Amino acid sequence: MKKILTLVFVSVLGGIIALSTYTHFIEKEQIITVTESSNEPQFLNASYNTKTANLINGEQSDFTLAAENTINSVVHVKNTSIVSGALTFEDLFYGRRSQRAQVGTGSGVIIDKNGYIITNNHVIAGASNISITLNDNRVFEAELIGTDEKTDIALLKIDAEEDLPAIEFGDSDHAKVGEWVLAVGNPFNLTSTVTAGIISAKSRDLSGRNSQSFIQTDAAVNPGNSGGALVNSNGRLIGINTAISSRTGSYIGYSFAVPSNIARKVVQDIMEYGDVQEGVLGVSILNRNSDEAKELGVSEIQGVYISNVEDNSGAKKAGIKNGDIIRKLDNVAISKFSDLSGYIKTKRPNDVVNVEIERDSKVKIIPVTLSKSDIISVEFINMELRNLPSKLKKDYNIKNGVIVQDNKNKFLYSKLGIRRGYIITGINDITIHSVEDITKFTKKYGENAQENIFKLEYLNTDLERKEVIFR
């Protein structure tokens, strides 16, 4: 009996000790665990700042004001054109032409209270009738004031009885990569639609010819949004949505806008002069990927390397030389040719641009008065012709000629194969030294210039001399 009582006592004592241990240690540890889980740490970006913290805590940027300032300025653009369809047997029998109306749509932006609207040239190209639907569903017939195919900008005008809600222009030169933007369009003739994103890059050239300078954004833009507004968080216009990068025809992540500074200058020129006034600096830039650039270490420089300065240009007169490195234009940093060409497109002939160059490891600022574009290139029978760079003449022992920058002359392209890179050396036994000779020929024959060409001399891209006589 005594042993049984001893065992009971030991068991009870063990239970008391175990319960005390559990209460003191284990139960207390569970409370700490619960407390810690209620204050679980947040995982932030490695580069932490107040703005990042606010985004994670849900205090995201408010775009409602920017949207309110924009949606009523964005319109729906309907383009109606007459196209010829395939002829049927009945058409042939009755001697009639098969024609039908074809409708295209896009967006536009009201830039003036008096009814001036900016859109893309490709939205209204070939239109026989253009109608505008405002965000409040009122419809107006539009007048085409002018277009610029190079920048893909067109200016329209509607007449309303009251002032219209015009958008305010922003400064696209000061837009920054990573900055929030809104893309606003009216693609479905309902009301304006808004998407958000950031600026992914600036001075993008999609042509491969350094002729474009787009703002790239990841804000969703689809067909029908062309001609719509790209605005900053304040609702100011910094671009005209123009193109998307796509294999399917729909948005897959990248869209492109004409910078507002370029668009504004184009429409101002159209309103004031009737066409676009192009100022030129008068320099050629060495391609960073060329063998010569690699030998010179140009791929590592901060700026663009000047390989040629045009005779009679503002750059030549101001003292800019081959081998100079352009770092800035009017305090705008220049790192590639599309930066330079994009900024110059906002200027006119006789405007003065402060060019910051590096020469012999020294930095200096040279004021340059921009020249007219016709000292360097001219439009001739649907071709863009440009003076030959002096280095090209020297390297390949070319005595004279003008180089083809672009050819939209279907006859010369299909019959002779003349395309970009060909060199026109003579017309009708007239030796062509520069675009000035082309201008003289155009002034002599006017619109009938092509009909008056009976002989053409040129070099192909292999520098083989060719001569064609037209009968």
Catalytic residues: 122, 152, 226
Please tell me the number of Cα atoms within 13 Å of 70 on its side-chain side.
Answer: 32
The residue type found at 257 is A
Question: How far does CA 295 lie from the centroid of its chain?
Answer: 31
Q: Find out whether 315 and 281 touch, Cβ atoms under 8 Å.
A: yes
Beta carbons within 10 angstroms of residue 22's beta carbon? 11
Q: Find out whether 147 and 121 touch, Cβ atoms under 8 Å.
A: yes
**Token representation of residue 294:** 């690699």
Full DSSP string of 385-415: EEEPPHHHHHHHT--S-EEEEEE--HHHHHH
Q: Find out whether 304 and 336 touch, Cβ atoms under 8 Å.
A: yes
Q: Find out whether 72 and 135 touch, Cβ atoms under 8 Å.
A: yes
All residues at 6 or more sequence positions from 263 whose CB lies less than 8 Å from its CB, including other chains: 118, 151, 153, 239, 240
Burial (CB count <10 Å: 0-12, 13-18, 19+), residue 256: buried
Distances in Å between the Cα of 104 and the Cα atoms of 129, 208, 225 are: 11, 28, 12
Beta carbons within 10 angstroms of residue 21's beta carbon? 11
Phi, psi of 245 (to 5 degrees): -95, 115
